[in-house]
Amino acid sequence: MMRGSLTSAGLFAGIGGIELGLERVGFSASLLCELDSAAQVVLRGRFPDVPIHSDVRALKKIPKVDVLSAGFPCQDLSQAGRTAGIRGTQSGLIDEVFRLVSNRATSPRWLLLENVSFMLRLNRGAAMEYVTSRLEQLGFRWAYRVLDSRAFGVPQRRQRVILLASRDDDPRPVLFNADVGEPARDPELATTFGFYWTEGLRGVGWAIDAVPTLKGGSTIGIPSPPAIWHVNDGRIVTPDVRDAERLQGFPADWTAEVGLDRKSAARRWKLVGNAVTVGVSEWIGNSILAGESGIYTDGASLHVGDTWPDAAWGEQGERRRVQVSAFPTDLPHPRLADFLEHVGSPLSARATAGFLSRARASTLHFREGFLTALDDHFERVTAQAQLAL
């Protein structure tokens, strides 16, 4: 492939995380499809010359492109969502992707799919079985790998399944071309820890010098940004949405400067939490451009009913595991405390009290000093609220 003449199209495009990453390495989007009206506002502002369609079900055909991407809805596959499975009303829209690529005349050279890593475990991996089987029926060779956003220069622990498929090319050198392994991170040297304040009974999404996965919101539409404990001064805050955009690899105010109300943080959090980290798609684009130069090692055969691994490939009924980590690279990124450019908002007294109640009722073990810091934070924000009366 030659830079400058590369084309892409994006289904379920969100706010353009995949498109921005591909654009940075020379791809030009020729079509975008997104149902959410707020996300459409962002796309029109950031990709003003690209036609935008609102409903994939009404899309009759796609242009012939080098890469067709589809970060298809995860609500039915997410651990935090409805877990209805691949046949759910939202995640089942993957069938529209298969409909569009079934026309070989306009079939893309590469099909790029993205979704939550929980799909590998939900219902014994039924979603991945369905997706890969349909791809093979359509004549595609496929490969997938779980990738962690921390590998691409941002302090956000976010693991997503990236699947690449092609009728004519081998996706294995693209996805498995490098593996540096997860870098060691010493918790004793960390000055910040991210966690989910909405949890506390079974887990808290604990992240060392990083935030856990940014989410679009709860099942009832309430934004739920993670909290950050600053060890040195005891502050416990939720990050500013502009820093959340940067944690996804976007420039700050990516969702604000194109018409969305700057004060509409809840709306913007949903858009940012549902996005694809820009650095991930940028790495994929570069890997595609590198051609067949990758090195990979096949693992054991993968049979129907087996537990799905974090990386695998398949074609014409043959499937194999691949032993690679979620870190094909480890771009240097600043520590979370240095990365954040905005102060953030103190975790509210109500949220703190709720988390503490759940945490103390659980059997979880917490880092020494964490619950004490939460107690101190609760007293501080409660006193500040009383003074404001």
- Which residues belong to the active site? 74
CB 352 within 8 A of CB 377: yes
Enter the tokens of residue 207.
């992240």
Residue 293 CA to residue 288 CA, distance in Å, equals: 10
Dihedral of CA 325/167/27/39: which sign?
negative
What is residue 345's three-state secondary structure?
strand
- DSSP class of residue 331? B
Instruction: Give the integer Cα–Cα distance in Å for 70 and 72.
Output: 5
Query: Dihedral through CA 59, CA 62, CA 68, CA 72, nearest 10?
Result: 10
Count the neighbouring beta carbons within 10 Å of the beta carbon of residue 379. 12
The DSSP 8-state label assigned to residue 183 in this structure reads P
Structure tokens at 15: 């706010």
Q: Which of 71, 233, 246 is nearest to 155 (CA)?
A: 246
The 8 Å CB, 24+ separation contacts for 363-372 are 364/200, 364/201, 364/202, 364/203, 364/204, 366/204, 367/187, 367/193, 367/206, 369/231, 370/193, 370/229
Please give the Cα distance from 223 to 113 (Å, whole number): 25
CA distance 386 to 388: 5
CA distances to 21, 122, 179, 262 from 170, rounded to whole Å, are 21, 28, 18, 44
Residue 94 has what DSSP assignment?
H
What are the residues whose beta carbons fall under 8 Å from the beta carbon of 72, sequence distance 6 or more?
Answer: 11, 12, 91, 93, 94, 97, 113, 114, 115
Q: Which residues of 73-107 are buried (b: 16+ CB within 10 A; e: fewer)?
A: bbbbbbebbeebbbebebbbbbbbbbebbeeeeeb
